[in-house]
């Protein structure tokens, strides 16, 4: 069944059983009382949803608006685009699509084709981090769905504890893998950014949060932005996906919370292991990814507002 492949689908299916009155949360994402992480200067971030089939499509978020508009976009997968979406993306003149999903994900949910795109590249950064096989034994996952539908969240917590399933640590481990196991893919992505012919460029994974979030972080740091700026962009996902996230956080067991939304400790785990393993982000760029100073300068010239 589908939930055995992607645990997130369990959560989405179960939302249909939550009465509308119970699914209500705070009126605005930046004014919520829910226990979710919000980006710095939350109210200053404009949430522009312009596509029917995309929930998390946006330019990188920077406090100084220093990245060229309409050059670089991060997104969720492009498999559910409506005709209106295709028209709007075509008007943006998208030249390159970088897909970070696994080959299996591509086959199951292929991106819709955009007429302006001349270059599509697949740089798989592992499988979907929501893949249940990477998070817990399948027999445990099979028991979660009926418990969720029945609202027996304490039993889910007990079940995961019994089987030593620690989602928080599993997610942190996965984010560290982004920084240590996929040098070739990350390097190739940054090399794409050195060529001005590749823009406008969209890069995406499944939900536009984890694998996309890591490459967004690497891009921002390469451009000279700070870790605080990385966190701000990363946590903006919680604003774009707030409708779904508010229901999951309000009506889900605490043991599953690390799988919901963007959490600072997860992206920081990637950045911290870079410093531990390689000494600094600059050393990681040059020694591990093969990006020298001249290439960094070209990336900045292509993406930063003059």
pLDDT digits (tens, 9 = 90+) for 158-181: 998 898 889 899 899 999 999 999
The single-letter DSSP state of residue 74 is E
pLDDT digits (tens, 9 = 90+) for 94-119: 999 999 999 999 999 999 999 999 99
Number of other residues whose CB lies within 10 A of the CB of residue 165: 18
Mean pLDDT estimate for the chain: 88
Q: Cβ distance 189 to 203 under 8 Å? A: yes
Q: Cβ distance 79 to 109 under 8 Å? A: yes
**pLDDT of 247 over the 50 cut:** yes
Q: What is the dihedral of CA 31, 36, 41, 44, to 10 degrees?
A: -60
Q: Cβ distance 186 to 289 under 8 Å? A: yes
Q: Cβ distance 29 to 238 under 8 Å? A: yes
Number of other residues whose CB lies within 10 A of the CB of residue 4: 16
Query: What is the pLDDT at residue 49?
Result: 84
Q: Cβ distance 270 to 264 under 8 Å? A: no
Task: Provide mean pLDDT across the span 34-48.
Answer: 92
């Amino acid at each position: 069944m589908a939930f055995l492949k992607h645990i997130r689908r369990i959560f989405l299916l179960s939302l249909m059983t939550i009465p509308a009155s119970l699914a209500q949360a705070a009126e605005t994402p930046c004014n919520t009382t829910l226990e979710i992480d919000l980006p710095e200067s939350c109210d200053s971030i404009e949430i522009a949803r312009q596509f029917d089939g995309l929930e998390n499509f946006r330019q990188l978020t920077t406090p100084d608006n220093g990245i060229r508009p309409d050059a670089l976009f991060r997104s969720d997968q492009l498999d559910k685009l409506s005709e209106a979406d295709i028209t709007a993306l075509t008007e943006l003149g998208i030249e390159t699509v970088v897909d970070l999903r696994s080959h299996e994900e591509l086959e199951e949910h292929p991106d819709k084709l955009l007429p302006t795109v001349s270059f599509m590249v697949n740089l798989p950064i592992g499988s979907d981090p929501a893949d249940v096989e990477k998070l817990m034994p399948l027999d445990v996952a099979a028991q979660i769905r009926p418990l969720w539908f029945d609202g027996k969240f304490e039993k889910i917590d007990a079940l995961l504890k019994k089987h030593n399933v620690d989602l928080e640590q599993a997610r942190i481990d996965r984010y560290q893998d982004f920084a240590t196991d996929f040098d070739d893919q990350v390097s190739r992505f940054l090399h794409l950014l050195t060529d001005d012919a590749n823009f406008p460029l969209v890069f995406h994974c499944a939900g536009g949060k984890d694998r996309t979030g890591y490459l967004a972080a690497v891009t921002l740091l390469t451009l000279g932005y700070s870790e605080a700026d990385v966190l701000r962009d990363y946590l903006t996902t919680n604003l774009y996906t707030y409708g779904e996230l508010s229901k999951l956080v309000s009506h889900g067991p605490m043991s599953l919370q690390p799988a919901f939304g963007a959490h600072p400790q997860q992206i920081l785990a990637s950045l911290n292991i870079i410093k531990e393993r390689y000494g600094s982000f600059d050393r990681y760029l040059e020694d591990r990814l093969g990006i020298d100073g001249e290439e960094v300068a070209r990336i900045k010239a292509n993406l930063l507002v003059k």
